[in-house]
A and B are shown apart, each in its own frame.
Chain A
Amino acid sequence: MNNLLSRLKRHFMVFLAVLGPGFITAVVDNDSGGIYTYSQAGARWLYLPLWTLLPITIALIVTQEMCSRMGAVTGKGLSDLIREEFGLRVTFGIMLLLVLANFTNIVAEFAGVATALDLFGVSKYISVPLAAVLVWFLAVKGNYASVEKIFLFACVIYVAYVIAGFLVKPDWHEALITSVRPKLILDGGYITMLIAMVGTTIAPWMQFYLQAAVVEKGITAKEYRESRVEVIVGCVMTSVIAFFIIVACAGAYRGHPTDIKDASEAALAFKPFGQYAFLLFSAGLLNASVFAACILPLSTAYSVCEGLGFESGVSRSWKEAPIFYWLYTLLIVCGAGVVILPRFPMVEMILLSQVLNGMLLPFILIFMIVLVNKKGLMREWVNPPFYNAVAWVTAIVVIGMTLALTGISLRNPG
């Protein structure tokens, strides 16, 4: 009996251990960029963007699955693989893009902190520097791992979106129809929103983070099956929450679609909760922003140092891994520094960062597709044709949208 219990416990531990990277990545996916992008999509375009969620979810599952498979089979991070297969110059270029994209995301997270606490009258000159110091110490002093579970648990707040989605009594009929009926409008604002939705859901940094986390956990090709389930569950959960954010906002802005300008407008989704609306929105956004702010700078510093062959890791001292620490610190200091500039346009910049994510995604995606099809690397785990098709279509569609957007803005400047 005792033996059986301990064996059950061991199986449970294995499950928990594997129930890590994919799930956490999916949860962090709904960061401040995610919340604002989906809110804006719902508030400005009502139910219209819902149809994108299904294809985006499929693309998300495919890309996340590719990453975790590469991590499990090769035991190497994405930037390691890019370096080994494409050489230093290519790696350097990609790392520049990644730092740029991730920096804007870090800015978005700190902006998320600022706007969340601003609802309660806390000045950003206090909240943002405090958050920056907290984030820096959590990772460097090595107690991030214990706090991670708190962040994860606090994400239960997202359930409020689901409840709000029902309470606003949305037009379910229309919501369901728009969910499956694609609609393209050749409008700069609409296409920008589409790119941002892809970018925030399938963010480039997630691919690097997820693969590194799979490697870090030591998940092997054998245990990989359990990992795949976890990736799929995580991705579906992300999209379900995105769906309800859009529905809740569409419900709140029914009849008077608006561009969201600040946190109080995005918090309107929680109107059915009355006096608790601000509190719920603020707590959810704050948790998501700080959570992602902990992961993003660290993940960026790791990816860059791995790719370029510098020593990395918080277990090393500042002297042993100077570039790692400098990069990490600069990302946080500059990210927070930008946000506390006077009159910094918070929500616009958050949305813009997600558009940038979307525009950079195809570059990363194409490298991933090439890597995951290399027989020498992946052996029998090379990409199945369906995965290749989805990944290529995603890359091409996003490139197409980016070109269309460029064309539209060139034709109607301003």
Chain B
Amino acid sequence: MTAENFDFLFFTELIGMPVYDLKHRRIGRVKDAAIVPLINPSRVDRFLVGNGGAWLSIRYDQISSISIAAGIQLSNERLYPYHSDEYMLRIQRDLLDQQIIDVNGRKVVRVNDVTFEIRRDDRDSLSVLEVDVGVRSIFRRLVQGVMPSAFVRRVQKPIPPNSISWDFCNILEADPLRRLRLNISNEKLEKLHPADLADIMEELGPADREAIMGTIDSEVAAEALSEIDPKMQASILEALEPEVAADIVEEMSPDQAADALYDLADESAEEILEEMETEPLEDVRELLEYDEHTAGGMMNTEAIVLAEEMTLDQAMLKLRSHEDLLENTHLLFLSGAGGRITAAVPLARLFLADGSTQLKELAYERLISTRPAEKERRVTELFDKYNLLALPVLEDDGTLAGVITADDVITVLRKK
């Protein structure tokens, strides 16, 4: 690519650029530029030109050339006054100085400037290339309109650039109608790791936070939500429509759902619970009964319990039906008469054993367990003392109430 057919322009340079008609009379200066994302996600579709008091709206196909030295040259004289258009994403008004999410860098950034590529086909057009953040673009903004562009470009050279490719930008828009008109989706965010998404969400204002939670896939929302600070979880859930909140809470594991609902006002929690499906609901309700700072409040109700006389082969068959639970499972529990838990088998031992081995033979010699009312502090001590990955919580009759896993303990310790 040579310098002639590839070039770039900063928004700070576009603003104030003179616009000339066919007879080369200056008709005004550029005040803003807009993208119409429904038509094209990156092309500058309209140039808003100030002409005395009124603004003109110029379409991209009415322009023949764009350059820093010669300004904008029109190819067509039919100009229309600008009247606000809901389908426009205006760069100066809607993008500059606002926060967006850098999906690649996994952080919230503030837009200082925008870099366009000047496409030189049969006519010149602008296409958004990058969003600029950092010192270099701040410098450009500060001297914008005060120093000539060529000089600014030279002076800024030693400052390292800091830009985000337009493809990785997720624009924030809290108003659902406008989001639709501007074709803004939060799909890009769904590819983030839930923990990263949670960090991003903590940096945003409540309106944007709730907009994201309400629009992304509820499974992703649930995973991200359980990584967010508990107090903020409550305020997010409270702000969402109860049905939407219920969809998200359903996707959380029961213990995390209970944690999120603990901090909620009782009526709001009840509203959400009422919207929930029956199956996870029971577990969540049960967990909400326990004090937050006891084993009952820490544990998760989902666990795999197998009959103690099973062989490994039989167990494997059974495990296939519990596929969804396996990811977070470290221990299998064996039950005897009356559902009493008799032993625990570490999952890893299954790999090396013979198919006909009885599960009982693979179990730990001693079953270490606790009660739902046990204090949080005692539970963490048990994990430390016995180097546990998971700890069963047993009811008085010996049946399984739930399981505490190491990540629950880490959460508790981190809170202090």
Do the beta carbons of B110 and A83 come within 8 Å of each other?
Answer: yes
B98 proximity list for chain A (CB < 8 A):
84
Interface centre among B107, B109, B205 (most CB of A within 10 A): B205
Q: Which of B194-222 contact A (CB under 8 A)?
A: 204-207, 209
Asked if A218 and B97 make an inter-chain contact with CB atoms under 8 angstroms apart, the answer reads no
CB-based nearest A residue for B141:
A88
Q: Is A87 an interface residue, CB under 8 A from the partner? A: yes
Which residues of chain B from 14 to 45 have a CB within 8 Å of any chain A CB? none
By beta carbon, the residue of chain B nearest A316 is B107
User: Is the C-beta of A309 less than 8 angstroms from some C-beta in chain B?
Assistant: yes
The residues of A that contact B292 with a CB separation of less than 8 Å are 6
Q: Does B227 contact A (CB under 8 A)?
A: no
* A308 at the B interface (CB under 8 A): yes
Q: In the complex, which residues of chain B have a beta carbon less than 8 angstroms from the beta carbon of A173?
A: none
CB contact list, A308-336 vs B, under 8 A: 308-311, 323
In the assembled complex, which residues on chain A have CB atoms less than 8 Å from the CB atom of B231? 17, 218
Give the complex CA separation of A218 and B97 in angstroms. Answer: 23
Q: What separation, in Å, do the CA atoms of A308 and B138 have in the docked complex?
A: 8
Q: Are the CB atoms of B109 and A309 closer together than 8 Å?
A: yes
- Interface bits A75-86 vs B (CB < 8 Å: 1, else 0): 110000001100
Q: In the complex, which residues of chain A have a beta carbon less than 8 angstroms from the beta carbon of B96? A: 87
Q: Given contacts A88-B97, A218-B235, is CB(A76)–CB(B205) below 8 Å?
A: yes
CB distance from A108 to the nearest CB of B (A): 30
Is B235 in contact with A311, judged by CB distance below 8 angstroms?
A: no
The 0/1 profile, CB within 8 Å of B marked 1, for residues 88-101 of chain A is 11001000000000
CB distance A6 to B291 under 8 Å? yes
B77 within 8 A of A: no
Tell me if B232 counts as interface (CB < 8 A to partner A): yes
Q: Are A218 and B232 in contact (CB under 8 A)?
A: yes
Q: Given A6-B291, A87-B97, A88-B97, verify A220-B235 contact (CB < 8 Å).
A: yes
A74 at the A/B interface (Cβ < 8 Å)?
yes
Complex CA–CA separation, A89 to B96 (angstroms): 12
Q: Is B133 an interface residue (CB 8 A)?
A: yes
Most buried by B among A75, A76, A83, A88: A88
Find chain B residues with CB under 8 A from A17 CB: 231
For B96, B97, B231, the residue with the greatest tally of chain A CB atoms inside 10 Å of its CB is B97
> What CA separation (Å) do A309 and B113 show in the bound complex?
12
A146 to chain B, nearest CB (A): 10
On whether the beta carbons of B97 and A89 are closer than 8 Å, the reply is: no
- The complex places the Cα of A224 from the Cα of B112 at a distance, in Å, of 32
List residues of chain B with CB within 8 A of the CB of A323: 135
Q: Can you name the residue of chain B whose Cβ is closest to the Cβ of A76? A: B205
Judging by beta carbons under 8 Å apart, are B107 and A75 in contact?
no
Closest A residue, CB atoms, query B12: A88
Q: Which of chain A's residues have a CB closer than 8 A to the CB of B209?
A: 75
Residues of B within 8 A of A87 (CB): 96-97
Contact, CB under 8 Å: B205 / A222: no
Chain A min CB distance to B308 (Å): 35
Interface string of A58-88 (1 = CB under 8 A from B): 0000000000000000111000000110011
A76-B99 Cα distance, complex, nearest whole Å: 11
Question: Do residues B107 and A311 form an inter-chain contact, with CB atoms below 8 A?
Answer: yes
Contact B142 A83 (CB under 8 A): no
Residues 117-150 of B contacting A (Cβ, < 8 Å): 133-135, 138, 141-142
Cβ of A143 within 8 Å of any chain B Cβ, yes or no, is: no
B window 208-259: CB within 8 A of A: 209, 229, 231-232, 235, 238-239
Assembled-state Cα–Cα distance A311/B98 (Å)? 15
How far apart are B74's CB and chain A's nearest CB, in angstroms?
29
A412 within 8 A of B: no
Within 8 A of A (CB), among B63-121: 96-99, 107, 109-112
Q: Of B99, B138, B141, B205, which one neighbours A74 at CB under 8 angstroms?
A: B205
Which residues of A lie under 8 Å from residue B99 when comparing CB positions? 84
Taking a contact as CB atoms under 8 Å apart, the answer to whether B112 and A88 are in contact is: yes
Contacts of A308 in B (CB 8 A): 110, 138
Within the complex, the shortest CB–CB distance from B322 to chain A, in Å, comes to: 34
**Distance, CA A89 to CA B112, complexed state (A):** 11
* Structural contact, A309 and B206, CB atoms closer than 8 A: no
Which of B110, B138, B141, B204 interacts with A75 by CB under 8 Å? B204
Decide: B205 and A75 in contact? CB cutoff 8 A.
Answer: yes
The distance in angstroms between the C-alpha atoms of A218 and B235, with both chains bound, is 8
Which residue, B96, B231, B238, B239, has most C-beta atoms of chain A within 10 A? B231
**A89 to chain B: which residues have CB within 8 Å?**
141-142
B112/A309 in contact, CB under 8 A: yes
Chain B residues 296-344 with CB under 8 Å of chain A are none
Complex CA gap A2/B292 in Å reads 12
A222 CB contact (under 8 Å) in B97, B109, B238, B291: B238
- When C-beta atoms are compared, the residue in chain B nearest to A223 turns out to be B235
Complex: chain A residue closest to B203, CB-CB: A313
Closest to A88 in B: B141
Instruction: Give residues of chain A (1-47) contacting chain B, Cβ–Cβ below 8 Å.
Output: 2, 6, 17
A84-B97, A218-B229 known; A309 vs B207 contact (CB < 8 Å) = no
List A contacts of B138 (CB < 8 A).
88, 92, 308-309
Q: Are B97 and A83 in contact (CB under 8 A)?
A: yes
Chain A contacts for B109, CB-based, 8 A:
309
Q: A75-B207, A84-B98, A218-B232 are in contact. Are A309 and B133 (CB under 8 A)?
A: yes
Assembled-state Cα–Cα distance A92/B112 (Å): 12
- A309-B292 Cα distance, complex, nearest whole Å: 38
**Which residues of B sit under 8 angstroms from A74, Cβ to Cβ?**
205, 207
Q: How distant is B161 from chain A, measured CB to nearest CB, in Å?
A: 15
A310 contact set on B, CB distance < 8 A: 134
Question: Is the beta-carbon distance between A92 and B235 smaller than 8 angstroms?
Answer: no
Residues of chain A within 8 A (CB-CB) of B291 are: 2, 6
Whose C-beta in chain B lies nearest to the C-beta of A315?
A: B199
A92 contacts B142, C-beta separation under 8 Å = yes
* Among A2, A75, A83, residue most surrounded by chain B Cβ atoms (within 10 Å): A75
* Cβ contacts under 8 Å, B142 to chain A: 88-89, 92
**Bound complex: CA A233 to CA B238 (Å):** 28
Extra contacts besides A74-B205, A87-B97, A311-B107 (15): CB < 8 Å = A6-B291, A75-B204, A75-B207, A75-B209, A76-B205, A83-B97, A88-B138, A88-B141, A88-B142, A89-B142, A92-B142, A308-B110, A309-B109, A309-B138, A323-B135
24 contacts between A and B (CB under 8 A): A6-B292, A74-B205, A75-B204, A75-B209, A76-B205, A83-B97, A83-B110, A84-B98, A84-B99, A87-B96, A88-B97, A88-B138, A89-B141, A92-B138, A92-B142, A218-B229, A218-B231, A220-B206, A220-B235, A220-B239, A222-B235, A309-B109, A309-B111, A309-B133
